[in-house]
């Protein structure tokens, strides 16, 4: 089912236009407070926009005069917290949606058991939510959402509440569930976007600041904000025969993602792990040094490098010291600004 949302909500700083094609999964990325969950609430009917319009499959959800109640919208919202009914069994939880929509007991049970099996938790049907692990509870919540046969699935940080061992399993399951479904997945994890989404929208301060196919947005970011989300360093400059020249006059060699005329404005992206520091390369003053696991992130106004801790100690890297930054041409992607 396709979706078109145009909405403004002043109290939460929201002013967005979002469209989802039939069978498309969109990842909505952004920091805490960007408005990601509010967008889902607007679509689901949990909050009202000040102005705007939303249609789903050509049917009106709301405009400035009309409003479709949430229980009549062809959408299902899966929250970060599974929110299962503690007094009902797993099977009864999954059957709750169909029963609320008017399905008979037998039909609701059939739908519930079908979706519990698809989620890999059919063997838990007679248990109560209090006996489930976080991953199991999230699978049951997904089965409950799917049992209503929604035409649009809204997932709000579906993996945030599960542990690191369970997340990959649930991510693979979601990839299968979302195949050919229309869905919006809110996440702050770029891996979720890579795994689940056909397209990415980046939300910042209530507005979409970047959007496009997943691979393009996450490998060729157009803003420093998106680059940081994708784990990349973003450079700006003009095209040279071999790469780009920054506004400060630094020249770096790189690989062009597509033909760009010499002298044209360009951007370039590089992973900090691909940047090395030492005597060679472009000289720059270190502005910050940060321990990140077994590596040290070394920042300068020019480039950022992730350096093994042993190398950082050996080179005596510290703020205020000058060092050389080097990046291999094959690790620097240059593309039109």
Determine which helix (DSSP H) or strand (DSSP E) holds 219, and give its type and residue range. Answer: helix 214-219
90: left (phi over 0), alpha (psi -120 to 50) or beta: alpha
How far is it, in rounded angstroms, from Cα 295 to Cα 187? 26
CATH class of the domain at 234-336: mainly beta
Q: How far apart are CA 297 and CA 269, in angstroms?
A: 17
At the topology level, CATH places domain 3-226 in: Rossmann fold (3.40.50)
Number of neighbouring beta carbons within 10 Å of residue 130: 9
Q: What is the pTM of this model?
A: 0.87
Residues 145-191 pLDDT 10s: 999 889 999 999 988 878 888 888 889 889 988 988 999 999 988 99
Alpha carbons 142 and 271: distance in angstroms, whole number: 35
pLDDT tens for 286-319 read: 999 999 988 999 999 999 999 999 999 999 999 9
59-107 pLDDT per residue, tens: 999 999 999 998 889 999 998 888 899 999 999 999 998 998 888 999 9
- pLDDT tier for residue 215 given thresholds of 50, 70 and 90: very high
Ranges of each domain in the chain: 3-226, 234-336
Longest CA pairwise span in the chain (Å): 75
């Amino acid at each position: 089912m396709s979706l078109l949302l145009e909405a403004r909500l002043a109290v939460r700083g929201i002013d967005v236009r979002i469209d989802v094609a039939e069978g498309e999964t969109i990842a909505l990325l952004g920091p805490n407070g960007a408005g990601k969950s509010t967008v889902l609430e607007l679509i689901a009917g949990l909050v009202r926009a000040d102005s705007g319009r939303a249609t789903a499959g050509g049917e009106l959800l709301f405009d400035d005069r009309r409003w479709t109640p949430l229980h009549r919208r062809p959408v299902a919202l899966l929250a970060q917290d599974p929110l299962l009914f503690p007094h009902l069994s797993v099977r009864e939880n999954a059957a709750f949606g169909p029963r609320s929509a008017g399905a008979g007991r037998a039909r609701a049970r059939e739908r519930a058991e079908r979706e519990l099996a698809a989620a890999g938790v059919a063997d838990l049907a007679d248990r109560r939510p209090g006996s489930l692990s976080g991953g199991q509870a999230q699978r049951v919540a997904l089965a409950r959402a799917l049992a209503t046969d929604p035409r649009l699935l809204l997932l709000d940080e579906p993996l945030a509440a599960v542990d690191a061992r369970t997340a990959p399993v649930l991510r693979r399951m979601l990839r299968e569930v979302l195949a050919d479904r229309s869905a919006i997945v809110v996440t702050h994890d770029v891996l979720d976007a890579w795994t689940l989404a056909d397209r990415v929208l980046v939300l910042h301060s209530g507005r979409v600041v970047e959007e496009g196919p997943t691979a393009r947005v996450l490998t060729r970011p157009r803003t420093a904000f998106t680059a940081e989300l994708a784990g990349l360093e973003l450079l700006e400059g003009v095209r040279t025969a071999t790469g780009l020249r920054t506004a400060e006059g630094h020249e770096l060699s790189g690989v062009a993602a597509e033909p760009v005329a010499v002298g044209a404005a360009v951007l370039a992206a590089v992973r900090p792990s691909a940047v090395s520091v030492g005597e060679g390369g472009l000289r720059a003053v270190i502005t910050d040094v940060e321990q990140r696991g077994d590596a040290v992130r070394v920042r300068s106004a020019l480039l950022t490098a992730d350096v093994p801790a042993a190398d950082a100690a050996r080179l005596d890297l510290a703020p205020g010291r000058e060092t050389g930054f080097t990046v291999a041409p094959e690790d620097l992607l240059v593309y039109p600004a």
